[in-house]
Amino acid sequence: MKTRSLIGLFGGSFDPFHNGHLAMVEAAVKAFPLEKLLVMPVGLPPHKSRRLNFSTFRVETARLATQHLLPQVCVSEREILSPGCNYTVDTIKMLQKDYPDIDIKLVSGSDFLFTVEQWYQYESILSLVSFAIALRGNTDKDKSEKQADYLREKYNAKITFFPMQKSTVSATQVRKLLTA
């Protein structure tokens, strides 16, 4: 029986892509046997009230930051090029349709564990893919593990943790510096 390829999916606004995002990408590549990690800037997020910077800027900052990780890490414009709002569940289903022989591991920070039940069609997301959750240096590990246990029990979610260095930067801070 042929082993299925494992692809990581790391989506976000990346407005802009910064060292914290890069640290998560590098840690995920190190922690999991990913054939490829797709970094996917969102086109039109349904949950953001403010306008995002130009998609070209967000894609190019992600490409520049991750170019040393090619070919394992690549930046995808798939959501940016798709019309309308981008929902994670739709992106997952599209990838599964296009690549039926892959398993997808959604890469995210631990905040995902506490907000996923607010996502559009979250039950489908929890059943379609496995999850690689970064435990940043400032993360409450016990609280995150307890929430992961809850999601595993209630939704049969497949959640694995991986360590990453604490990041002291946020996209909000970077945007403030860029406009100063």
Structure-token pair, residue 149: 């246990």
- Range list of H helices, 33-87: 55-66, 78-81
Q: In whole angstroms, how far apart are CA 169 and each of 85, 163, 176?
A: 27, 17, 11
- At residue 171, the pLDDT reads 47
Radius of gyration in angstroms for the set of CA atoms belonging to the chain, rounded to a whole number: 16
Distance of CA 161 to the CA centre of its chain: 14
- At residue 82, the pLDDT reads 84
**CATH classification of 5-179 is 3.40.50.620, yes or no?**
yes
- At residue 1, the pLDDT reads 59
Measured between alpha carbons, how far is 153 from 39 in angstroms, rounded to an integer? 29
- At residue 175, the pLDDT reads 44
Q: What is the pLDDT of residues 39-67, one digit of tens each?
A: 999 987 666 554 556 788 889 999 999 99
The answer on pLDDT for 97 being more than 90 is: yes
The answer on pLDDT for 159 being more than 70 is: yes
pTM (two decimals): 0.87
- At residue 52, the pLDDT reads 57
- At residue 15, the pLDDT reads 86
Provide the 3-class DSSP secondary structure of residue 7.
strand
Instruction: Quote the mean pLDDT of the chain.
Output: 88
Q: What is the mean pLDDT of residues 135-151?
A: 88
Residue 33, classified by CB atoms within 10 Å of its CB into exposed (0-12), middle (13-18) or buried (19+), is exposed
- At residue 47, the pLDDT reads 61
Measured between alpha carbons, how far is 84 from 80 in angstroms, rounded to an integer? 9
Distance of CA 113 to the CA centre of its chain: 12
- At residue 43, the pLDDT reads 81
